[in-house]
Structure 1
């Protein structure tokens, strides 16, 4: 499921290759209130995926052909646009956010973003003029 949301593409590894499923497992195993809520939501969401798979003739989401899995994900993504707070759309949005968060905090994900971390500079010249202009600001001396 993680690789359906963030597949291997070009030189970028997929979510599974960088350990996102392990990240999710660790996340929902944490004893904190937010993680407990996420655990409940994700477990119910996985059950809902199996229910949707059953409507397509499968027994479980993971047993469906990839095309059917993608079709279910597209349905949930579409529902998430119109009813983001309703289940199972809320499950899909939270799963998407956790998968993205897990991926983009890995070295491979940071590389994809072009993130270089803190880079020392001799001086700070301020934001570029086009950014100031977009914000309706002018440079201060």
Structure 2
């Protein structure tokens, strides 16, 4: 007993890092369109939202709406590829379940997500042990390298 949906009944919401340029967002939209998520490139059925905004809305939904109009929310979003900091002001929330966010300050971020932290740690370990020792150990123990990375 599955549910059948028509493509015009589905709204896709894709998240993107806060530091992405308009050009990068346009490429994401084009990729989603090419993948068949929307019939038109600029359609109401294909939404892009910033990852930190999605994080705030998810937290509100999970915890119940305890935000009030005028509250300010700081979001630190440290993902795999980027780390973003955004500041949002809550507008129109009074326990109604409807939360509207306005950007209170220009978001900042960097290509400093977890993958970059991992790479820096591996580089430090290699330098600490010496390149030959580290490379020999990695080659001799690939399963341990995988365990360390997870």
TM-score, normalised by the number of residues in structure 1: 0.27
In terms of fraction of residues, the more helix-rich structure is: 1
- After TM superposition, the score normalised by the length of structure 2 is 0.26
> Which structure is larger by alpha-carbon Rg, 1 or 2?
2
If asked which structure has higher relative contact order (CA below 8 Å, sep 6+), I would say 1
| Greater fraction strand | 2
